[in-house]
Structure 1
Amino acid sequence: MTTVFHKIITGEFPGRFVWADDICVAFATIEPTSPGHVLVVPREPFAQWTHGPSTTATHLFDVARIIGQAQEQAFGVARAGLAIAGFEVPHTHLHVIPLRDEKDILLSRARAASDEELDQAMTALRAALISMGHESHVPASMGSPALS
């Protein structure tokens, strides 16, 4: 199955990556509900999060938790939110969202962000992940999911 997320992961479409490992990647959504909103996406596509292997689901949640902690640090928010919907792209993805209030979790509030806004937010998030000791999972280039 080829999806827009598969095309981002393979470099056919551009992406702003903050995390990469053998199982998943995390990159900016171009329509965030708040600055720093990212998607955690398995490299292997499956249409619904309930259809994938439990080991992959566990890994996605572990990565989402780490990214949420980094969002709290990078954006000074009290908490990070997590949403799984999947209607817009049939490739499992977890929305990890810095929450300033409960409205930030509403995916219906997503709006296009400028390249500058996305770059600033992802640079801050990448720096937070590195400061937390996760540099081995932060891609060398924000534009690529490659680790070396």
Structure 2
Amino acid sequence: MNNSCIFCSVTKGDIPSNTIMENDWTKSFLDIRPINPGHTLVIPKMHVNSIHDLNEENYLRLMESVRQISSILHEKFTPRKVGIAIAGFDIEHLHIHVVPMYRYHDITSEKYLTGTILEADPNSLKEIEEFIKSE
């Protein structure tokens, strides 16, 4: 854990998140600046900056969580595709974006490029979290 890392703080529970899934090695939670509803981040609980820093076992564990989240989002939101991206320029803790996609450029997000993406209302994030977790 890194005390100055926001995602390490999320993992420890010091910063609240809309958690979708959690296991012993990963945590998945809604992005507060979503490209589309359901946009989820999957992070390893240990502080690591890059996917290249993972050994094979931990890489496979992380990607299994990504696959599970992708399946959940596909079932709940019925998008045309579920996109996966690793950027990490903003926070130096490995995080994988899992995004329900309805249009080709959703994963490259014109919203980010044009600056029109806004922070989501906490109440709407809570509603989306509850929807995803519902039976």
Question: Do both proteins adopt the same fold according to a TM-score greater than 0.5, normalized to the shorter chain?
Answer: yes
Q: Aligned equivalents of 1:96 and 1:9: distance in 2?
A: 18
| Alignment coverage as a number of residue pairs | 128
Q: Report SS of the residue matched to 1:34.
A: coil
- Per the alignment, residue 124 of structure 2 pairs with 117
Q: 1:63 aligns with which of 57, 62, 65?
A: 65
- Per the alignment, residue 142 of structure 1 pairs with none
Counterparts of 1:1-148 in structure 2 under 5 Å?
A: 1-2=2-3, 3-106=5-108, 108=112, 110-127=117-134, 131=135
Q: Which amino acid aligns with 2:90?
A: E
Any runs of at least 4 consecutive aligned residues in structure 1 with deviations exceeding 4 A, and if so which? none
- TM-score between both structures, scaled by the size of structure 2: 0.88
Residues 29-62 of structure 1 deviation map (CA, whole Å, 9 limit, x = unaligned): 1001000001100011111111122211111111
User: 1:35 touches 1:117 (CA, 8 Å); kept in 2?
Assistant: no
Q: Aligned equivalents of 2:32 and 2:89: distance in 1?
A: 16
- TM-score between both structures, scaled by the size of structure 1: 0.80
Higher RCO by CA contacts (8 Å cutoff, separation 6 or greater): 1
